[in-house]
Amino acid sequence: MAAVSAAEGVAATALQSVVQRIQHAAERCGRRSDQVRLVAVSKTKPVSLLKQVYDAGHRCFGENYVKELVDKAPQESLYQDEVFILLSLGELQLPDDIEWHFIGNLQSNKVKPLLTGVPNLAMVETVDDEKIANQLNCVAGDIGRKPLKVFIQVNTSGEETKSGVESDGCVELVKHVTSNCPNLEFCGLMTIGMPDYTSTPENFKTLARCRSEVCKALGISEDQCELSMGMSGDFELAVEMGSTNVRVGSTIFGAREYAKK
């Protein structure tokens, strides 16, 4: 137990430090830090660790895998005594005022389990083709939830292994969402970019250019189109380049350990 509490304290402290670094980056370029949302990326991390960050006052978390997110999010159907048993095992799911962002690769057959299993899903950041947009729109309508916020994921690095729509197909996909998907709310663009720090500015500039094109095509102002970019290695740079949504995992929660296959 002692080891667990130490790790938890570290996560809360790391969170505060990331929040401060975002503030400073925003100040450096004359932006307000409340214009930047911090998504704490908690994939592979246990609920106990997320709870520590939650207890430090943080409410926005990001996950990549549908099953893992559904397991962590609250289930309305739990009976009182089941909750009690889970509580005593220390495995309680997380409170329902968390704003969950789904940031992983999403397959159409996982849309229904995601939307039904996570009533407080706030945003899907990874819409990258019409098929997935249509499926999200359809399920959101069927279950009668409020319109689901979405980002369009853009492949700004041109790497074949990365998901995301090509930058020159971005406007068309955004138009599809805004014209044909009434149960989705288009909020902006997302990119991952290359991990290599030196090439990242190019990827972030490409995303900003996509935003200009989208805003022109839709006749909206740039503050109506968010930019989700920046991770542990480059979130301050991303803020300086206009990011409104940084997704930070390992700097808050520590390195991820994946089970060996």
Ligand X SMILES: *Cc1c(COP(=O)(O)O)cnc(C)c1O
Chain residues that interact with ligand X, rule: CB under 6 A:
41, 43, 64, 103, 192, 231-232, 247-251
In the bound state with ligand X, the residue whose beta carbon lies nearer, of 126 and 135, is 126
Amino acid at 54: Y
For ligand X, the closer CB: 104 or 242: 104
- The C-alpha atoms of residue 160 and residue 166 are separated, in whole angstroms, by 10
Minimum CB distance to ligand X, residue 150 (Å): 14
Residue matched to tokens 């406007």: 171
Minimum CB separation of residue 68 from ligand X in Å reads 12
Of 41 and 210, which CB lies nearer to ligand X in the complex structure? 41
Task: Give the residue with the Cβ less far from ligand X, 173 or 231.
Answer: 231
Report the residue number, 18 or 170, with the smaller CB distance to ligand X.
18
| CB 67 to ligand X: min, Å | 15
Helix (H, G, I), strand (E, B) or coil at 154: strand
How do strand 184-190 and strand 226-228 relate by DSSP bridges? parallel
Q: Compute the residue count for the chain.
A: 261
The residues near 10 (Cβ < 8 Å, ≥ 6 apart) are: 254
CB-nearer residue toward ligand X: 211 or 247: 247
Decide if 66 contacts 113 (C-beta within 8 A): yes
- Compare residues 104 and 117 and give the one whose CB is closer to ligand X: 104
Of all residues in the shown chain, the one whose CB is closest to ligand X is 249
User: What is the distance between the alpha carbons of residues 111 and 14, in angstroms, rounded to a whole number?
Assistant: 32
Asked if 66 and 106 count as a contact pair (C-beta separation under 8 A), the reply is yes
The minimum distance between CB 232 and ligand X, in angstroms, equals 3
CB 143 within 8 A of CB 121: no
Rounded least distance, CB 253 to ligand X, Å = 8
Q: State how far the Cα of 229 lies from the Cα of 190, in Å rounded to an integer.
A: 6
CB of 258 to ligand X, least distance (A): 11
Closest separation in Å from C-beta 114 to ligand X: 16
Sign of CA dihedral 169, 170, 175, 180: positive
Closest CA to 124 of 133, 116, 27, 155: 133
